[in-house]
Structure 1
Amino acid sequence: MPINDTLARYSDLSFETAFAVYLLALVLFVAEFTAVRVRRTTSELVLAAATPSATPSEEPGRIVEPPRREWSDRLGRMGVSVLIVALILHVGSMVLRGLATARFPWGNMYEFVTVTCAIGVFAGLIVLRRPALRVLWTFALIPVLILLFVAGTVLYADAAPVVPALQSFWLPIHVSVVSVSSGVFLVSGVASTLFLLVLRGEKRPQTGWGRLAQRLPDARALDRLAYRTTIFAFPLFGAEVILGAIWAEASWGRFWGWDPKETVSFIAWVIYAAYLHARATAGWRETRAAWINIAGFVATLFNLFIINMVVSGLHSYAGLN
């Protein structure tokens, strides 16, 4: 089927605009992060609880004005609004790419990374909706922008039909599950990284790391965020491995052949399983479990870039020019 070049150009324009709006959202979140009040230490909280409140008693007939919203909160709300606009443009670029090619828009690495980043942003809008966690966008958007920049430059591929091996009804099923799990794992990996940073900062509160950590949510909140997002993505990732095996049997006549892509996917699944086990094991549930979770995300990125771009195998469908 011929490619609609006009829709393809609009798709690229929408992608580039979305990238610029994401950058604007990041600037707003960075401004919010620098303006947010430093989180008080445990000793300060105990002292504040023991000190009587200095708030004057209410008088009959007195009009009490509601407290004004902090400047950091305003910046954060603007950042979320801009982020939603960027996500709409982002999704619009994928829809236009699909309409231009008359297929699902995840037939090469450019399209897959684009879809994965969009799902990661959507997942972040859900799990980071609380004001206390909103400051994490400062760090969550950085890997998204890096991945989108790589996708739009190094990985970019012109709109075209997919190779014959991918012309299967399994493509949207298998790749969509991979994209959802990978996008959620991105949020989980960022949360575990910041969890380790906060723990380090709490040990050295007077250092630069310590002052940075005091602007972030407490370590337990970050640990819970990493665990809950992994709990959601892990079964999807396992389903992706199973669905890939079924597709492999239909295409190549075998369920498993220890292809590099299959092998590293299985290794990443084992690492995430080890993280969930460590998270529930005394003595492992803090820093050790967080490092395992980060290792799982690194394995996922290795599987996406190194295996697709460097190692030759049956799954070499990067679509690079």
Structure 2
Amino acid sequence: MNLATAANENLADISNVLIYSAMAVYTLAFLAHIAEWVFGSRSRVARTAAALTEPAAAAGSGSAPVTVRTGGKGGGAAVAERPRVVTRSVTGARDVPDGPGAAGDDEQGDLYGRIAVSLTVLAFLVHAGGVVARALSVERAPWGNMYEFSTTFSAVAVGAYLVLLASGKPVRWIGLPLVTTVLLDLGLAVTVLYTASDQLVPALHSYWLWIHVSCAIISGAVFYLGAVGTLLYLFRDRYEAKLAVPQGPQPGAFASSVLERLPSAASLDKFAYRINAVIFPLWTFTIIAGAIWAEAAWGRYWGWDPKEVWSFITWVAYACYLHARATAGWKGRKAAYLALIAFACFLFNYYGVNIFITGKHSYAGV
């Protein structure tokens, strides 16, 4: 039998239709998330920060007297001094469920948020159906080339986000950047990276394809969520720092309208660290599993292939980040920069190595 003609074209076509349909529903979810951010309530942390940093205009430069009524017999009025407004940083604010997804007193914003999540769930189901149909069309794991890896990667990222939501985590703020990047990822997949449904090259016919590549996809998808949290942390931290110094330059109206709807910088920083720390062992196992597969396929565990090298570089970068978090002098923004560098290494390992560098892992299909 000619393996090149073994693919089920009907199922492959169904997969393509489902992927395009998922993109349409993701677009509706994107619009609903935009509506939530526009009409949703301000972050409780942001409101607290604004109250703390608001100049005491009525009090002037000193303390103004305040009349306090006292109860009881012959209760009169006691005069007390209004305390000066004290400013402080909110960078260490308590981890509270604020921002989009916890609109609280804003029913309109919360309604748009619920619609956005519902559409995201629907899009994910259609998206996952497209991935499964692709797998059935060739009766193998649906990640044998860059197109299949990309569609599966974005599906897993959305799935991880929905799992966090279902577990009660206040992470609806991830929805907008997540849906935006998923649309970009799928758009790139169907236009630039698309590869017709076909069988694998002989070297990939192994059960390690299910183990090694699936672990790489899950690790990358969760690292992506951590990168989103880290990037938003940097913006939010700078925003809070400006609020803490009312005499200095203040954030613009547009920046405030966006950043005040995010959780506190402390919450974002904690989220990113926990996500990266939890998934790092799986990335370690991914590299080990790849080495075992390499020995079975090519007779050596390590051959300094570009994909192997950049996988290890990514591992080292994340290891440095996690170590930095345990080092007093490298917390906060410095550690965040390391996390973004580590995720950039992951992206280059996927796009750069597959497209621009030739090696034993050159199965991109582009």
TM-score normalized by the length of structure 1? 0.89
Tell me whether 1:15 sits opposite 2:53 in the alignment.
Answer: no
Q: Which protein has greater RCO, CA pairs closer than 8 Å, 6+ apart?
A: 2
Which residue matches 1:54?
Answer: none
Distance 1:88 1:183 in 2: 17
Cα shift readout 1:62-100 (whole Å, capped 9, x = no counterpart): xxxxx9861111111111111011000111001111111
Verify the 8 A CA contact 1:76 1:135 in the aligned structure 2.
Answer: no
Alignment of 1:1-321 (within 5 A): 2-39=6-43, 40-42=47-49, 44=51, 70-128=107-165, 132-204=170-242, 205-207=250-252, 208-320=254-366
Cα shift readout 1:171-222 (whole Å, capped 9, x = no counterpart): 1111100000000011000000000010122233432434421111111111
Distance 1:136 1:281 in 2: 28
Question: What is the one-letter code of the residue matched to 2:320?
Answer: A
Distance 2:169 2:270 in 1: 16
Measured after TM superposition, the shift of residue 270 of structure 1 is 0.6
Give the number of the structure whose residues are more often helix, by fraction.
1
Verify the 8 A CA contact 2:37 2:258 in the aligned structure 1.
Answer: no
Question: What is the one-letter code of the residue matched to 1:30?
Answer: I
Verify the 8 A CA contact 2:291 2:301 in the aligned structure 1.
Answer: yes
User: What secondary structure sits across from 2:163 in the alignment?
Assistant: helix
Residues 287/80 of structure 1: CA separation in 2 closer, same or farther (3 Å cut): same
Question: What is the one-letter code of the residue matched to 1:89?
Answer: V
Runs of 4+ in 1 over 6 A off after TM superposition: none
Unaligned runs of at least 5 residues, structure 2:
55-103, 243-249
Measured after TM superposition, the shift of residue 116 of structure 1 is 1.0
User: What secondary structure sits across from 2:330 in the alignment?
Assistant: coil
Which residue matches 1:52?
Answer: none
TM-score normalized by the length of structure 2? 0.79
Distance 2:321 2:346 in 1: 14
Verify the 8 A CA contact 1:177 1:237 in the aligned structure 2.
Answer: yes
Question: What is the one-letter code of the residue matched to 2:146?
Answer: M
Distance 1:72 1:131 in 2: 18
Verify the 8 A CA contact 1:116 1:182 in the aligned structure 2.
Answer: yes
User: What's the % identity of the aligned pairs?
Assistant: 43
Unaligned runs of at least 5 residues, structure 1:
48-66
> Greater Rg, structure 1 or structure 2?
2
Verify the 8 A CA contact 1:188 1:227 in the aligned structure 2.
Answer: yes
Give the stretch that moved more between structures: 129-138 or 146-155. Answer: 129-138
Distance 2:251 2:228 in 1: 24
Measured after TM superposition, the shift of residue 123 of structure 1 is 1.0
Alpha-carbon RMSD across the aligned residues, in angstroms, is: 1.8
Name the count of aligned residue pairs.
301
Question: What is the one-letter code of the residue matched to 2:175?
Answer: W
Verify the 8 A CA contact 1:18 1:89 in the aligned structure 2.
Answer: yes
Measured after TM superposition, the shift of residue 293 of structure 1 is 0.6
Verify the 8 A CA contact 1:133 1:217 in the aligned structure 2.
Answer: no
Measured after TM superposition, the shift of residue 286 of structure 1 is 0.4
Measured after TM superposition, the shift of residue 126 of structure 1 is 2.4
User: What secondary structure sits across from 2:35 in the alignment?
Assistant: helix
